[in-house]
Amino acid sequence: MKIRVLIVDDAVTVRSRVSKVLSTVPEIEIAGVAANGRIALAAIPQTNPDVIILDVEMPDMNGLETLVAIREKYPELPVIMFSSFTIAGATITLEALSLGANDYATKPSNLGSIEAANEHILTNLVLKVKLFGKLFETQNIEQQEQEAREIHLPTSPVLPDIFLNTSTAKIDVVAIGVSTGGPNALAQILPAFPADFPVPILIVQHMPPVFTQLLAERLNSKCQILVKEAVAGTVIKGGEAWIAPGDYHMVVEQNNGNKVQIGINQAPPENFCRPAVDILLYSVAKIYGAKSLAVILTGMGQDGLRGCQYIREVGGHIFVQDQTSSVVWGMPGFVANAGLAERVIPIDQMAGAIKQEVGNN
């Protein structure tokens, strides 16, 4: 049975391009197209879509207004926002996610060829359409457990022996990895931390440039702690949260004064991601050892699994979000099914659990 997709965009070229590309995928069927939100709302009962791809900037009835109307009438109908790679597009997309959009994808821009644009659409949209169209079950526990346990941690010379078997050490850093559903999960956790939260928080959210900066600004406006996009060379301290910038890996490293600072690099993607959770956790394990708390939240894929294996090897602590409260139980599911998580926690209890763990050590 094919996934029926309704494409909503005011640009005829976008509607045509996305329709043509998605039509090449055997499991997907184009249920219809609409030039604005009003037409889309009228088309939903006629086309009976399984997934809606929704432009954010449209005349007459924009993406946010359309999303609100869809949620009122069809609260369970999956909506993927299709955003331009601009500040305005990113701002509206983040607001859409807070209003109930399931996910987002960016439109192809300045890629140099039609082929590259088509590949961008395939890469960014197809997996998400399949996911939210429920063509396959991403939360297949047995499959995830088998795949997780088949991944073996290679011997690494970078992990100091001094950290081993010291699991009673106090927590000196919290490292959070998150992807699909992340902005809302972070918006639920971070405002719960007081301004004097004693340890720094480092966050990898799978998002492109511009989006990570605006996400940090949006979260900062709601939090008592400082939340900013990471800047290379910044010495980290308690009461602050740093979000890895889009298209850059974030690490921690010791400077000449033996203080821990942020490092930023564009090394090759890990798990097809840059920034990658694994890259951050490798460095956290090396610097903090058993004084680390890794937290893996909702997200597609298995980024963070290998990093959590390193955290576990040096005696650090690992929490993951539970399946029920996750938009996608991919990243946390792999870690849980590999037997690495000390606790599996609903998102509404995660901040309290983190505060307790930091305060008890």
Does the structure show a pLDDT above 70 at 360? no
Query: What whole-number distance in Å separates Cα of residue 281 and Cα of residue 125?
Result: 28
Hey, what amino acid is at 131?
L
Those residues with Cβ within 8 angstroms of residue 355's Cβ, 6 or more apart along the chain or in another chain: 192, 193, 197
Read off the pLDDT of residues 296-318 as tens digits, 9 standing for 90 and up: 999 999 999 999 999 999 999 99
Read off the pLDDT of residues 110-149 as tens digits, 9 standing for 90 and up: 767 888 888 988 888 998 999 999 854 444 545 555 555 5
The whole-number pLDDT of residue 348 equals 98
The whole-number pLDDT of residue 168 equals 53
What confidence category does residue 288 fall into, taking pLDDT thresholds of 50, 70 and 90?
A: very high
The whole-number pLDDT of residue 149 equals 52
The whole-number pLDDT of residue 139 equals 43
Average pLDDT of 162-178?
73
Does the structure show a pLDDT above 70 at 57? yes
Read off the pLDDT of residues 218-252 as tens digits, 9 standing for 90 and up: 999 999 999 999 999 999 999 999 999 999 999 99
Pick the CATH number of 141-360 from 3.40.50.2300, 3.40.50.180, 1.10.150.530, 3.30.70.260: 3.40.50.180
The whole-number pLDDT of residue 1 equals 83
Dihedral of CA 218/221/222/224: which sign? positive
CB 25 within 8 A of CB 7: no
**Any idea which architecture 3-132 has in CATH?**
3-Layer(aba) Sandwich (3.40)
CB 316 within 8 A of CB 293: yes
The whole-number pLDDT of residue 26 equals 93
Those residues with Cβ within 8 angstroms of residue 332's Cβ, 6 or more apart along the chain or in another chain: 296, 297, 298, 299, 320, 321, 322, 323, 326, 341, 344
Does the structure show a pLDDT above 70 at 160? no
The whole-number pLDDT of residue 108 equals 84
The whole-number pLDDT of residue 166 equals 44
Query: What whole-number distance in Å separates Cα of residue 198 and Cα of residue 200?
Result: 7
Show me where the domains of the chain are located: 3-132, 141-360
The whole-number pLDDT of residue 151 equals 54
Q: Same CATH topology for 3-132 and 141-360?
A: yes
Read off the pLDDT of residues 248-267 as tens digits, 9 standing for 90 and up: 999 999 988 889 999 999 99
Instruction: List helix spans (H) across the chain.
Output: 12-22, 37-47, 63-73, 87-98, 114-121, 127-132, 141-150, 182-189, 211-220, 277-288, 305-313, 331-337, 347-360
Does the structure show a pLDDT above 80 at 169? no
Does the structure show a pLDDT above 50 at 347? yes
Which residues does the annotation mark as catalytic? 179, 206, 303
When comparing pLDDT for 110 and 186, which is higher? 186
What confidence category does residue 164 fall into, taking pLDDT thresholds of 50, 70 and 90?
A: very low
Average pLDDT of 264-287?
96
Please give the backbone phi and psi of residue 157, each rounded to the nearest 5 degrees, phi first. -80, -5
Read off the pLDDT of residues 11-39 as tens digits, 9 standing for 90 and up: 999 999 999 999 999 999 999 999 999 99
The whole-number pLDDT of residue 138 equals 44
Read off the pLDDT of residues 61-93 as tens digits, 9 standing for 90 and up: 999 999 999 999 999 999 999 988 778 889 999
Average pLDDT of 332-356?
97
